[in-house]
Amino acid sequence: MVADFTGHRGGVYYEAGFAMGLEIPVIRTCKADDFDDLHFDTEHYYHLKWDEPDDLREKLQTHIEATIPISNRSQ
């Protein structure tokens, strides 16, 4: 699951926590402008910091390729 914390919407915090409770991996992202305002409950988790949508796409692709085995990716 990809959870973008930009704007700090309460639902994102809830859904990411719910996914974690179900042992579903969560990739957290946040636009650089909002990064310093992350809630203390999640600031200890790694968040992909991005500036523009193209930057986010590139960083997500790199992160997914580095952390998810090829056999688990949808073909």
Closest CA to 55 of 33, 26, 25: 33
Six token digits for residue 31: 């636009």
Q: Is the pLDDT of residue 10 over 60?
A: yes
**Residues 8 and 38 sit within 8 Å (Cβ to Cβ):** yes
Tell me the CA end-to-end span of the chain in Å, nearest whole number.
17
> pLDDT value at position 72?
58
Residue of 71 and 49 predicted with greater confidence: 49
| Torsion sign across C-alpha atoms 37, 52, 19, 15 | positive
Neighbours of 42 (CB within 10 A): 19
> pLDDT value at position 40?
80
> pLDDT value at position 9?
84
The model carries a pTM of 0.79
For the segment 55-66, the average pLDDT, to the nearest whole number, is 92
